[in-house]
Every structure is written in C-alpha cells, then in structure tokens.
A = this chain, B = another copy of it.
Amino acid sequence: MRINDNYLKLKAGYLFPEIARRVSAFAHANPDAQIIKLGIGDVTEPLPEVCREAMHAAIDDMGDPSRFHGYGPEQGYAWLREKIAQLDYQTRGCKIDADEIFVSDGSKCDTGNILDILGKGNTIAVLDPVYPVYVDTNVMAGNTGAASDDGKYDGLVYLPVTADNDFTPELPKQKVDIIYLCYPNNPTGAVASKAALKQWVDYARDNEAIILFDAAYEAFITDPDIPHSIYEIEGARDVAIEFRSFSKNAGFTGTRCAFTVVPKSLTGKASDGSDVEVHKLWNRRQSTKFNGVSYIVQRGAEAVYTDVGRQQVGELVSFYLENARLIREALSAQGMNVYGGVNAPYVWIKAPNGMTSWDLFDKLLNEAHVVGTPGSGFGAAGEGYFRISAFNSRANVEAALDRITSNLAV
C-alpha cells in the first residue's frame, strides 16, 4: 500500500505541537514555575449561560423519544442556518441565503477540507506570515513542491505583510487562482478596510480567481467602518467562500461549531472549460464525508442569536479586547513596537534588539514563564515578530504583563 508522499514534504511539525514540546520540557525542568499561556488562541472564560441552558434543554430532548434527534442534515439544521443568514449577513446588507450556509465542527476543518473540491494546477497565494493550516493542507494535497530552508514551499505565492507595508499585502504580480485572506488577521491582528477588500474582490473577478476568506475573528471588530464579511463588498458573492466560527466569539473552542458560506453564484472551471457551481461540489463533499454537527451543540450555537445571547457574547468579546488593550499598553510602555490588538484579539510585536522570534519565545518562557507564539512559525516574513494572544483570564494577563515588564531584561 502506497502512502501519500506529500506528507513527507511537511516541515518538522505544525507550529503549536513544537511550542507544546518546548513548554513541556521547561515545565519538567522547572516544576515550580507558574507558566502563563498567551500562545494559542484558546478561550478561557465560561461558555455564555444562554448557550449552556440551550444545550441542557437539547440533552433533555435526547431523552424523550418524541423529541429525540438522530442524524441531522449534513448541512446543519434549518433553524440555525436561517438565523445565521439573517443575523450575520442579511442585516448587514449581504445577500446570503440560509441554504448557502454549511454548519460544521470547525473552521480549521473547513479551511483544510475545502481543498477536496478544488482542482490541481491552481496557483495559490497566501499572506506571509499566515495561519499554518492553509499552507500545510496545500502541502498534504500535493499543491506545492518541497520546502526551502526558510520554510517556504515551492509553488505557493507568498505575499509578505510586515511593518514596512503596514501589514497590508500588495496584489500578486502574477495571476493567481486561489487567495487565502484572514481578517481580522491571524497572526498580525491587522484588519482590512472596505477599499482593501474591494481591491481583492476586483482582482478575483478580473482573474477568475477565488478568495477563501477566513472571518473567524470578525466579532472583535469594533470600528464601524471595517467590514465583518467579504460579502459586504459588491460582487464578492461570485468569487468568495467565507469561513466563520463560534470558537472565538462565543467561546466554543472546546464545544465545536463553525460554518462556511458557499454562495450559489460562485463557479469554478472544469477541465473542459465549463463552469461548475462550487456550492454543489461542497454540498456533495459534506453529504458524503460528514454527518453534521451534534444536535446539542447546534442548539447551543442557535442561542448565540437570541438577544440575551448577543449580549453575553458581546461581553465576552469586550473582555478579551480589554485584555488586548492592556497588553498593547504595557508592551508599548516597555518600548516595544506593538501592532494589532485593536479590532482583533492578537497583539503582534517586534522582537527587540534584533532577536529572532524563537529567541524571544525562549526568553519569555525562561525569564517570565510566559508562552507566546514565534512569528517565524507563521512564515518567513514573520521572523523577528511575536504573537501575544489576548485569550486568557484578566488575572493571568495582568500577572504575565507584570512579569514581562519587571523581569525581562530587554
């Protein structure tokens, strides 16, 4: 039996397992250290009460034959899809219908699985630094060549985003077919204006390209001029798929629910040059390879769209944004160059004194017992940068900042 050789091209491992390995080694050597993790973007605060109540009720449904739920629609229950379409899209003027929403168990899954329905031979562009899943899943799918020493894979088009270009990528110089965008951005915390997104939509329309738009952090946008969805841009329905999640707004990282929007007007090309509806392909993929999200969890997600749900989610988001503000201010006061953390839960800092990203990682771990994420783990252009996540309790954030500002010799 032959294995998929493309996996052998993958570099030493997904970023976060490598961080876990170093933290584990440090903890083993320093058993008394109280390590504070501001690394992966994992929420810490309780699930909104309204979600817990809805899930309790759903479990009770499962105990009553007349209210028991077996297999649900692979695409998600209509009562959830309709609320998403109405409250996340239609109220913002986006023409998205309920049957264009596919409920799933995670945006990480969907951003990876979407490659199932895309063909070979596409030219693919990603920002650099970038959420590693976009790159690694393309490597696995055979859409790249081998990696060079700086971690770049042959065949991918990297669009650098650094302080030099204000974390705003230039349009690709060559024609690309697939573009991954993530706004508010992971890892840099940058946001995209309407004008910036319109440039991308226009580019995609002009080049018969498709935009894979990851909006997992849209709830953190407080500036009314920043679009929450790519579909707020005229014409995006024909060129974009959007990924959304309940992980970061409602704290569902351990509860698992997300959704992907595939408009019916989006088409791709078959090898004979004919147009094929991407919605039909994704529907077939999900019907065949997925069995829908737990009924219990979907009821929890539905509760997010009630008035009290929106209020409770709003409070959670505000809590983490306040953490981000504290991080920004403390590190700025320390003399660091600080980016992001406004309209986004990630603060992106420049490692001082020419340190590499992993230098700063090891320094923070060793001297302050604080875990962050090395920017170079997100791509070659992230070298010298470092991500601090605002997802933690207030006490932990304050303690971490206190240690950094008082203990760290920079």
* Known A46-B64, A63-B47, A136-B288; contact A3-B70, beta-carbon cutoff 8 A: no
Q: Which of A155-202 contact B (CB under 8 A)?
A: 177-178
Q: What residue of chain B has the Cβ atom nearest to residue A239's Cβ? A: B1
A117: which B residues are within 8 A, CB to CB?
A: 3-4, 7
Q: Which of A89-112 contact B (CB under 8 A)?
A: 105-106, 108-109, 112
**Chain B CB within 10 Å, residue with most, of A49, A71, A269:** A71
CB distance from A189 to the nearest CB of B (A): 20
CB distance from A293 to the nearest CB of B (A): 7
Are the C-beta atoms of B65 and A44 separated by less than 8 Å?
yes
Q: Which of A1-56 contact B (CB under 8 A)?
A: 1-5, 7-8, 10, 13-14, 17, 40, 42-47, 49, 52, 55-56
Is A271 at the interface (CB under 8 A from chain B)?
yes
* Known A8-B270, A254-B71; contact A2-B121, beta-carbon cutoff 8 A: yes
Are the C-beta atoms of B72 and A254 separated by less than 8 Å?
yes
* Known A4-B117, A271-B2; contact A42-B17, beta-carbon cutoff 8 A: no
Is A326 at the interface (CB under 8 A from chain B)?
no
Are the C-beta atoms of A122 and B296 separated by less than 8 Å?
no
**Segment at the interface with B among A279-287, A352-360, A397-405:** A279-287
Q: How far is the CA of A294 from the CA of B294 in the complex (A)?
A: 9
Range for the number of chain A residues in contact with chain B: 35 or more
CB distance from A147 to the nearest CB of B (A): 15
B-facing mask of A128-141, CB < 8 A → 1, else 0?
Answer: 00000100110010
Q: How far is the CA of A137 from the CA of B116 in the complex (A)?
A: 10
Are the C-beta atoms of B289 and A256 separated by less than 8 Å?
no
Q: What residue of chain B has the Cβ atom nearest to residue A270's Cβ? A: B5
* Known A70-B43, A178-B1; contact A291-B106, beta-carbon cutoff 8 A: yes
Are the C-beta atoms of A120 and B2 separated by less than 8 Å?
yes
Are the C-beta atoms of B210 and A1 separated by less than 8 Å?
yes
A5 contacts which of B106, B119, B255 (Cβ < 8 Å)? B119
CB distance from A349 to the nearest CB of B (A): 23
* Nearest 3 A/B pairs, CB to CB: A2-B119, A112-B289, A3-B268
Known: A2-B120, A136-B288. 18 other contacts (CB 8 A): A1-B177, A1-B269, A2-B270, A4-B117, A4-B119, A7-B285, A14-B284, A43-B70, A47-B62, A70-B251, A105-B294, A133-B288, A140-B284, A254-B295, A256-B292, A256-B293, A294-B296, A296-B297
13 A-B interface contacts by CB (under 8 A): A1-B118, A1-B119, A2-B122, A2-B268, A3-B117, A3-B119, A42-B71, A49-B63, A105-B293, A106-B291, A109-B291, A140-B284, A296-B297
Residues in A lying within 8 Å of B, measured CB to CB = 1-5, 7-8, 10, 13-14, 17, 40, 42-47, 49, 52, 55-56, 59-60, 62-65, 68-72, 105-106, 108-109, 112-113, 116-122, 133, 136-137, 140, 177-178, 208-210, 251, 253-256, 268-271, 276, 278, 281, 284-285, 287-297, 393
